[in-house]
Amino acid sequence: MKTIEDIRKSLESTYMEHEIEEKLPLIQEINRLKKEKNAVLLGHNYMTPDVFHGVSDILGDSLYLSKAAAETDADIILFNGVHFMAETAKLMSPEKKVLIADLKAGCSLAESITREDVKKLKSQYPGVPVVTYVNCTAEVKAETDICCTSANAVQIVNSLDSDTVIFLPDEYLAGNVQKQTDKKIISFPGRCMVHEMYTAEDILSVRRQWPGVTVISHPECNTDVVEVSDFAGSTSQMSKYIRDSGAKDVFLVTECSMGDNLRSEFPDRQFVSSCRTCPHMKRITLEKIKDALLYEQFEIKLDPEIVEKGRMAVQRMLEVSYK
């Protein structure tokens, strides 16, 4: 576990000294409660730095976090992220108590599609396999043949024995996958409210202001944004690219806190930020995390049928990805 000095150092790149001092008592209380409750806290890359560096035990993207949590001996999993992520953790660890600090921490992309929408598409295209991005509800996963992440979407699509694939729910990710596969992609009009705000002109404007800047975008952005970027990948792939490429000036075309959290990992790099934030992610605060642990409140509960079917879709993806 990190020491207080480790935490303080991690927060210095984004907070003033007095802000850190105000946050430390609450961080210490949460870390005490973790031990008392035998809880593990998962921190998504889009959490604010106090949550990400201060109290989260396992850090990364949503699927990695759920997979890692399933391998711990914790009695309680508290997911510092949004609702669909906590549901995925429940699918992977149905025997554990899974909590989220705010049940209203939703996701525009996950909420863009329902289980009934998927059933309707399956009836329109009988026999066509359904690939669903993990950024969806457990009910949608339950109607899915196989899940994917932004990192392995092309691999998953190409693994299927079909010339046509239904790809849900992100139409921008579907468009970016279509450019990398010969299969026909049937998409759905779902979008992330953060990533859909970026345009190709945003990228070109940044390039004019910072000549030589390295532009890294998320594949939830439109294809024209990805095309004018130097690299596009998942949040975990972004970190790896920064580390391996040696890029000094970086423009991250994704949720603002991603750059905030990377500043302490890469203190020698300059991060250019557009500060596009997700209001749902920002509902998760230290105060709410403390209460969730203290009272063991806001538990994720799923129907056993949903757990069985949804987990199967995720497991199929893992089997393909880790062959």
Rg (CA), the chain: 20
Domain shared by 216 and 172, yes or no: no
User: What would the two tokens of residue 48 be?
Assistant: 């604010």
Annotated binding site for [4Fe-4S] cluster: 107, 192, 278
Tell me the residue length of the chain.
323
Tell me what pLDDT residue 323 has: 64
- Percentages helix, strand, coil for the chain (3-state, rounded to 5) are 45, 15, 40
**What are the tens digits of pLDDT across the range 266-316?**
999 999 877 899 999 999 999 999 999 999 999 999 999 999 999 999 999
Examine the fold and report which residue of 159, 174, 192 is the final residue of a domain before the chain moves on.
192
Residue 74 lies in a domain: yes
Q: How confident is the model at residue 70 (pLDDT cuts 50, 70, 90)?
A: confident
Residue 198 above 80 pLDDT? yes
Tell me what pLDDT residue 61 has: 87
Domain shared by 173 and 211, yes or no: no
Residue 216 above 90 pLDDT? yes
Tell me what pLDDT residue 321 has: 81
Instruction: State the average pLDDT over residues 198-204.
Output: 96
Domain shared by 122 and 75, yes or no: no
Residue 305 lies in a domain: no
Annotated binding site: 44, 62, 107, 133-135, 150, 192, 218-220, 235, 278
Residue 62 above 90 pLDDT? no
Cα angle 45, 228, 223 (rounded to 5 degrees) comes to 75
**Cα(169)–Cα(144) distance, rounded to whole angstroms?**
11
Domain shared by 260 and 201, yes or no: yes
pLDDT above 70 as % of the chain: 99
pLDDT above 90 as % of the chain: 91
**Cα(58)–Cα(65) distance, rounded to whole angstroms?**
7
* Residues facing 251 on adjacent strands: 215, 272
Count of Cβ atoms closer than 10 Å to residue 269 Cβ? 17
Instruction: State the average pLDDT over residues 80-97.
Output: 95
Cis peptide before 94 (omega within 30 of 0): no
Domain count, the chain: 3
Helix axes 62-70, 304-321, angle to 10 degrees: 100
Residue 144 lies in a domain: yes
> What is the rounded average pLDDT for all residues in the chain?
95
Residue 313 lies in a domain: no
Q: What CATH code is carried by the domain that includes residue 257?
A: 3.40.50.10800
**Cα(235)–Cα(194) distance, rounded to whole angstroms?**
14
**Cα(149)–Cα(153) distance, rounded to whole angstroms?**
6
What is the four-CA torsion angle of 192, 196, 200, 206, rounded to 10 degrees?
A: -80
Q: Which domain holds residue 38?
A: 4-105+281-299
Annotated binding site for iminosuccinate: 44, 62, 133-135, 150, 218-220, 235
Count of Cβ atoms closer than 10 Å to residue 309 Cβ? 17
Examine the fold and report which residue of 130, 165, 192 is the final residue of a domain before the chain moves on.
192
**What are the tens digits of pLDDT across the range 121-172?**
999 999 999 999 999 999 999 999 999 999 999 999 999 999 999 999 999 9
